[in-house]
Amino acid sequence: MEHTDLLIVGAGAAGIAAAKGAYEAGCTSITLVDRKEAMGGVLLQCAHCGFGKQLTGPEYAAQLGKAFPKDIAFVPSTTVLRVSSDKIARLSGGKQLHFHQLILATGCREIPMGALPIAGTRPKGIYTAGQLQEMVNLHQFRPEGPAVILGSGDLGLIMANHLSDQGLHVTLVEQKSSCTGMARNRVCLKKPLVSLLCGTTITEVLGEETIEGCITQTGTVLPCKTLVIAVGLRPERTLAEHLGNPPWLHLCGNCDRIHPMVETVIGQGKQAGIAAYETMRGTL
Ligand SMILES: Cc1cc2nc3c(=O)[nH]c(=O)nc-3n(C[C@H](O)[C@H](O)[C@H](O)COP(=O)(O)OP(=O)(O)OC[C@H]3O[C@@H](n4cnc5c(N)ncnc54)[C@H](O)[C@@H]3O)c2cc1C
């Protein structure tokens, strides 16, 4: 069985920073695995400017990848399926990899519609925000309007901006008394195609095959052909659930906690890389 001193799962901003941090600290055997073909994680689907010095997500990912040391083994298009307490990772394709230290940088999951108390069937036209962002920005999918977005946090606002740019009327529905996203994302609320409905939520979807509308808690019917669920993100730690808290396991990025800004992910990833290497050397 092959061995690596440091296995990093996830090559988003956190995993890339962790790999570089460990490498710069002196670690010479590092393997970075991602289920996607390219490094960058969620950055690759973010077409908006807002990363570092006003770069788009793909531009920022390209900058991160540029200075990536050649000595770090990057294994693309490979999913880590399971990690056991005897420090063996099972990868898709049947390969197994023994490691000394493990960094999970697996990002986050969106809260899906199924987790919400919304009545009605599940017709076509309902997406989570990240899923729709990927379809629109990477696969040229064009959703039909009008659109309703549940949740006015940053993800909801970014999608309101994208969809209104494509000419769709968008209604953001927010259960709190005001919009919850950052000021810089709130600028989309000034667009004539975007409206915000606060103090309510969606309790029912209408339509059999394709969505036709939503009903709010206050009884308002909002006709729509697209419903976007943007109610939050949860750290993705499925691989670690059964492991407890062994000293060889390190978490970073959105897998540890949800970070709204990529710079904090980079800083935390780098620290995780250094800590993993120091733990291996017995100096931590
Ligand atoms: C929609 C959105 C907009 C944002 N906008 C901004 C912004 O404007 N400005 C800003 O500074 N920050 C922004 N952020 C925040 C920041 O970009 C992210 O927090 C950061 O990029 C997350 O990095 P990550 O490495 O933790 O996770 P991710 O980028 O999600 O990377 C996780 C990686 O793990 C891989 N993976 C997961 N499980 C496995 C497995 N079992 N096996 C193999 N690979 C696996 C995934 O394929 C993925 O590549 C935004 C975040 C989102 C979601």
Cα separation of 61 and 257, whole Å?
20
Q: Which two tokens stand for residue 1?
A: 């069985």
**Interacting residues of 168 by C-beta distance below 8 A, sequence separation 6+:** 143, 144, 145, 146, 147, 193, 226
Sheet with 221-223, edge to edge strand ranges: 202-206, 213-216, 221-223
Q: What mean pLDDT comes out for the span 151-173?
A: 96
Cα separation of 145 and 107, whole Å?
30
Cα separation of 67 and 236, whole Å?
27
Cα-to-centroid distance, 1 and ligand 1 (Å):
30
Is the pLDDT reported for residue 227 higher than 80?
A: yes
Residue nearest to atom 30 of ligand 1 (CA): 107
According to the model, what pLDDT value does residue 284 have?
58
Confidence of residue 129 (pLDDT cuts 50, 70, 90): very high
- How much is the mean pLDDT over the chain? 96
| pLDDT tens per residue across span 28-74 | 999 999 999 999 999 999 998 889 888 999 999 999 998 799 999 99
* CA 63 to chain centroid: 19
According to the model, what pLDDT value does residue 283 have?
65
Q: Contact at 8 Å (CB) between 194 and 221? A: no
Task: Tell which atom from ligand 1 comes closest to the C-alpha of 253.
Answer: 26
Task: Tell which atom from ligand 1 comes closest to the C-alpha of 130.
Answer: 1
Which of 128, 116, 176, 137 lies closest to 155 in space, CA to CA? 128
According to the model, what pLDDT value does residue 53 have?
82
Q: Is residue 125 left, alpha or beta, with left meaning phi > 0 and alpha meaning psi from -120 to 50?
A: left
Cα separation of 191 and 142, whole Å?
20
Q: Contact at 8 Å (CB) between 65 and 36? A: no
| pLDDT tens per residue across span 171-209 | 999 999 999 999 989 999 999 999 999 999 999 999 999
Bridge partners for 234 per DSSP: 109
Residue nearest to atom 20 of ligand 1 (CA): 262
67 burial via Cβ count (<10 Å: 0-12, 13-18, 19+): exposed
According to the model, what pLDDT value does residue 185 have?
93
Cα-to-centroid distance, 168 and ligand 1 (Å):
27
| pLDDT tens per residue across span 136-145 | 999 999 999 9
Q: Which two tokens stand for residue 38?
A: 């390219």
- Name the packing angle between helices 154-165 and 129-139 (round to 10°): 40
Residue 21 neighbours by CB distance under 10 Å: 24
According to the model, what pLDDT value does residue 77 have?
98
| pLDDT tens per residue across span 67-119 | 799 999 999 999 999 999 999 999 999 999 999 999 999 999 999 998 999 99
Residue nearest to atom 27 of ligand 1 (CA): 107
Mutate to test the pocket of ligand 1, among 262, 266, 268 (most ligand atoms within 8 A of CB): 262
Cα separation of 1 and 95, whole Å?
8
Mutate to test the pocket of ligand 1, among 42, 45, 158 (most ligand atoms within 8 A of CB): 42
Residues lining ligand 1, CB < 6 A?
Answer: 9-15, 33-36, 41-43, 46, 48, 50-51, 79-80, 105-107, 130, 133, 155, 158, 239, 253-255, 259-262, 265
Q: Contact at 8 Å (CB) between 128 and 37? A: no
Cα separation of 9 and 163, whole Å?
33
Domains of the chain: 2-109+234-281 (3.50.50.60), 112-231 (3.50.50.60)
Q: Which two tokens stand for residue 109?
A: 């999951």
Task: Tell which atom from ligand 1 comes closest to the C-alpha of 50.
Answer: 8
| pLDDT tens per residue across span 258-281 | 999 999 999 999 999 999 999 999
Residue nearest to atom 8 of ligand 1 (CA): 50
Cα-to-centroid distance, 43 and ligand 1 (Å):
6
According to the model, what pLDDT value does residue 50 have?
86
Cα-to-centroid distance, 176 and ligand 1 (Å):
26
Cα-to-centroid distance, 155 and ligand 1 (Å):
13
Cα-to-centroid distance, 63 and ligand 1 (Å):
15
* CA 176 to chain centroid: 23
Residue 65: C-alpha distances to residues 6, 7, 59, 116, 151 (Å): 19, 18, 10, 38, 33
pTM for the full predicted model: 0.94
According to the model, what pLDDT value does residue 78 have?
98
